[in-house]
Amino acid sequence: MNISEDENGEMTWIKWFCSLEENEFMCEVDESFIDNDFNLYGLENSVPHFQLAIETILQLEYSQEITPDIQQEIDEESKKLYGLIHARYIVTSAGQQKMLRKYEQSAFGCCPCMKCNRYPLLPLGLYDNPGMEPVRLYCPCCNDIYIVPQQFASRKLDGAFFGTTFAHLLLLQLDEHPKNAFHYIPRVYGFKLASSDYERPTDYPNFTGLRQFCHL
């Protein structure tokens, strides 16, 4: 396993994990947060080798002998556990600040909706339980949710690694953010269509265009 070095030249699992392209939406969780049992309450039921996964993330000496056949399992469980811890960390003050910096740099992409004028997006989970849906992108401007575009390797991340609370809690910390007041009125030869004749579709069974920007 190739792990990068921190500013002190020390190898850290967290820095290595967050440096991977597929984890670009995630931030580095402080080790002190992970080392606090209170912050991990209930997660032991979500990961089979919970203690070994924690020891992997914090790079502690294993508390028991590890056989090669379960090492790969522990590596995968460590990634899942870090993601679940990440969801809890990013609703703390420290975590919000780290994600805010990413948001201000448009690290999560911009809204594809024309009327939002490329407003920055935020990662969002539709569920708090893992294994339900991958991460989605939320636009505070049009209040809509989008599938992550193919250009982002993070599109396969579990939505539970961000949860349902983070994005909205972060927006509460901001002084203001614009709400889109633009309303398009469909016309035929200059005449407005009645609302009953034109309703925004909620399903796209035959859609073959840019699926990554489909509304959910």
Residue 2 falls inside a structural domain: no
pTM score = 0.81
Q: Please tell me what DSSP assigns to residue 148.
A: P
pLDDT confidence of residue 4:
46
Q: Is 43 helix (H, G, I), strand (E, B) or coil?
A: helix
Please name the residues in contact with 92: beta carbons below 8 A apart, sequence gap of 6 or more: 33
* pLDDT above 50: residue 1: no
Q: Convert the pLDDT of each residue in 155-166 to its tens digit.
A: 999 999 999 999
pLDDT tens for each residue of 94-150:
999 999 999 999 999 999 988 888 999 999 999 999 999 999 999 999 999 999 999
Task: Tell me which DSSP letter residue 69 carries.
Answer: H
Question: Are 56 and 117 in a shared domain?
Answer: no
CB-based contacts of 171: which residues, under 8 Å, 6+ apart? Answer: 122, 140, 177
What is the CATH number for 23?
1.10.1820.10
Decide: 199 and 121 in contact? Cβ < 8 Å: no
Q: Domain residues for 68?
A: 13-89
Is residue 74 scored above 50 in pLDDT? yes
What are the pLDDT digits (tens) for 148-205? 999 999 999 999 999 999 999 999 988 776 666 566 666 776 677 666 555 555 555 5
Q: Answer yes or no: do 159 and 204 share one domain.
A: yes
CATH number of the structural domain spanning residue 205: 2.20.25.20
Contact 115, 195 (CB under 8 A): no
**115 and 83 in a common domain:** no
Residue in 2, 3, 212, 179 with CA at minimum distance from that of residue 109: 212
Buried b (16+ CB within 10 A) or exposed e, 68-102: eeeeeebeebbbbbbbbbbbbbbeeeebbebbbeb
| Alpha carbon separation from 179 to 11, 54, 137 (Å, rounded) | 44, 42, 16
Tell me the backbone φ, ψ of residue 103, rounded to 5 degrees.
-60, -40
Over 50: is that where the pLDDT of 209 sits? no
Does residue 46 belong to any structural domain of this protein? yes
Q: Which residue has the higher pLDDT, 102 or 63?
A: 102
| Helix or strand run (H / E) with residue 98 | helix 93-104
Please state the domain count of the chain: 2
Mean pLDDT of 32-56: 94
